[in-house]
Structure 1
Amino acid sequence: MEAQKKHRYFVELAYKGTNFHGWQIQPNAISVQEVLNKALSTVLREEIETVGCGRTDTGVHATNFFSHFDTVTEIRSQQSGVSNGESEIRNPQSIITHDRLVKAINALVGYEIAIKRFIKVVPEAHARFDATSRSYEYHVHFVKDPFKLEISYLLGSQPDVELMNKAASVIMQHTDFSCFSKSNTQTFTNNCKITRAEWVQVEGGLVFHITADRFLRNMVRAIVGTLLDVGKGNLSLNDVPKILESKNRSNAGESVPAAGLFLTTITYPYL
């Protein structure tokens, strides 16, 4: 029997990571990937396995995230002559409309995950390897606020923002970030190219913006912790290049809590 033609799609989504053990499937814990795979498999009536643009840790959020998957079902932007919407969902070999699929998957994944759109791509397109840059934000606030619980880090006092931005500029001049990476990670290199690292003052707090071609595990939270140590006076500006050159994680600051971290932008050359 001739194999059915597969179509590859990107799915763009957002999620609040508080109640998930990160993006990637875990043996004994709920993850965003597991929930999405189950929803897609249920609606498309075939086994679907998604591949994410990266992995986020437990409690980390994403306002912009992409994954790809393959399916025998064709997703079209409009009805294109197909009259029975219900039969589209029940029959995995049929044509299904984009809007109907978005609504169907959103109904199954729960309120903490939001499906934005599906994008037809070439069979070789890859959500992780084709991404050219990624951007994160880290949010901190200074006054206790129950509405910022799980989405921002409460600091007791405001650090020196100017000094932290000077330290961030020093970090941008380097490419080896071994000192900010978790140990025993399966990476061939710890080199990254950072194109933005900046603290911005907002009402009641600060937001740290960082963009790079790639990130190491725990890298952003370790950088934020180190910069906050500079802003609090626990580290000097001269300590920062020494920490980077040491390539030793124990010399850098402690990782800040996951709650304030958001993956905000993934860029591709063809989207």
Structure 2
Amino acid sequence: MYDLVRDHFTDLGYRVQGEVKSCDVTALKEDLLIILELKKSLSMELLIQAVKRQRLGDLTYICIPKPKNYMKNRKFQEILYLLKRLSLGLIFCEPDRQFIEVILHPEDYNLERSKKINKKHREQIISEMQARTTSLNKGGSRGRKLMTAYREDAIRLLWICSRRETMAPRDGVKLGIVKTPAILRDNHYGWFHKVERGCYGLTESGHKALADYDQILPELTQDLLLQDQTTQDLPQDQMTQDQTIRDLHPDQTTQEISSRQLSLTKSPEQASAKQTRRTKASKANKG
């Protein structure tokens, strides 16, 4: 590989020397010093050695034989990212074919730009952390089912459904589980079945999962118990009024329904005064 590297950089106008002060290859043009490390394969030892060479030269390259099908190799793409992160260059050599190819030139890595590009992923991580109630996953474990915020919500819905035999999506939303409609509809774990339109029950696997997660149910459902009790303590006429409004206006948002509820709670005098103001404003506009 040395002959290929030497000829390549010589053609570019560099003065090339081999084995200079423990450096495999050095190339000099004016004040620009390039250091190249030649090895038969990419290894952690080679990366450490190349990083140390960065303290001496302006640019540092790693030279290795060209691997087979490297473009389709996912691991190679990850290695390429690591080299970019370390500001190292990469050169492939094929002495038998007298072939040399510069895959990557050393460049300063822009970490802030990388963070901006991955901002959405960062927000997803923070959102997932904040949404979780339990901390049951052991870092570094593989082949185990992870306890995600989505799974926690699905387990909460198991508990709600077991208490009521059947449930509607609004039952979960009312208790703060915003993704209830999607969880019941998609049925990712196979825990729920559709009894009728807008009504769901538990499958056999759902009952089994409820028993499997029995130990963590108290932690997951503590807030739900309080909210459920609050809902049950509402005056019957208030609960009937809430349901009537939702039945008559199924497409309205929670905010719109709240506004409608507020208007229903106004006294006749308040409603009359508001109508009078509207009439005066209308006459003024016409005048």
Superposition TM-score, scaled by structure 1 size:
0.23
* Greater RCO, 1 or 2 (C-alpha within 8 Å, sep 6+): 1
Whichever of the two has the greater Rg, that structure is 2
Question: If each structure's strand is expressed as a fraction of its own residues, which one has the higher value?
Answer: 1
Question: If each structure's helix is expressed as a fraction of its own residues, which one has the higher value?
Answer: 2
Superposition TM-score, scaled by structure 2 size:
0.22
